[in-house]
Amino acid sequence: MELFDSHCHLTDPAYKNRHEEIITRAQANNVKYFLTVGLNVTDSKLAVKTAENFSGVFCSIGIHPHDTDNATENDIKELEKLACHKKVKAIGETGLDFYRNYSTHQNQEKFFNLQIELAKQLDLPLVIHIRNAYLEAKSILLKHQYFRGVIHCYSGDESFAHWAISQGFFISFTGVITYHNFRSQNLIKKIPKNHLLIETDAPYLSPEPMRGKVNEPAFIKYTAYALAKIKETSYEDICYFTTQNALMLFNIS
**Statement: residue 93 has pLDDT above 90:** yes
**Planar angle of CA 206, 211, 216, nearest 5 degrees:** 35
Q: Are 69 and 104 in contact (CB under 8 A)?
A: yes
Average pLDDT over residues 110-121: 98
End-to-end CA distance of the chain: 17
pLDDT at 244 exceeding the cut of 90: yes
Alpha helix locations (H) across the chain?
A: 19-28, 41-53, 73-82, 105-122, 134-144, 158-167, 185-190, 220-231, 235-249
pLDDT of 132 above 90:
yes
pLDDT band at 4 (very low <50, low <70, confident <90, very high): very high
Query: CA torsion 78→81→86→91, rounded to 10°?
Result: 50
- In this structure, the strands spanning 31-37 and 57-61 are parallel
Give me the count of residues in the chain.
253
User: Cis peptide before 209, with omega less than 30 degrees from 0?
Assistant: yes
pLDDT category at 91 given cuts 50, 70, 90 is: very high
Every domain of the chain and the residues it spans: 3-29+37-89+99-249
Backbone phi, psi, residue 197, to 5°: -130, 160
- Quick: pLDDT tens for 21-66: 999 999 999 999 999 999 999 999 999 999 999 999 999 999 999 9
Q: Enumerate the H helices of 2-104 as residue ranges.
A: 19-28, 41-53, 73-82
Contacts of residue 220, Cβ cutoff 8 Å, sequence gap at least 6: 3, 5, 26, 29, 31, 175, 198, 199, 200
Percent of the chain with pLDDT over 90: 100
pLDDT digits (tens, 9 = 90+) for 201-239: 999 999 999 999 999 999 999 999 999 999 999 999 999
Q: What pLDDT was estimated at residue 55? A: 96
Domain 3-29+37-89+99-249 carries which CATH code?
3.20.20.140
Non-local (6+) Cβ contacts of 149 within 8 A are: 90, 92, 119, 125, 126, 127, 128, 169, 170, 249
Local structure of 196: helix, strand or coil: strand
pLDDT at residue 1, rounded to an integer: 86
Residue-level pLDDT at 115: 99
**Across the strands, what pairs with 197?**
172
Rg over CA atoms, the chain: 17
User: Residue 127's pLDDT is what?
Assistant: 99
Q: 73: how many CB neighbours lie within 10 A of its CB? A: 9
Q: Is 126 helix (H, G, I), strand (E, B) or coil?
A: strand
H or E element: which one contains 10?
Answer: none
Cis peptide leading into residue 203 (ω within 30°): yes
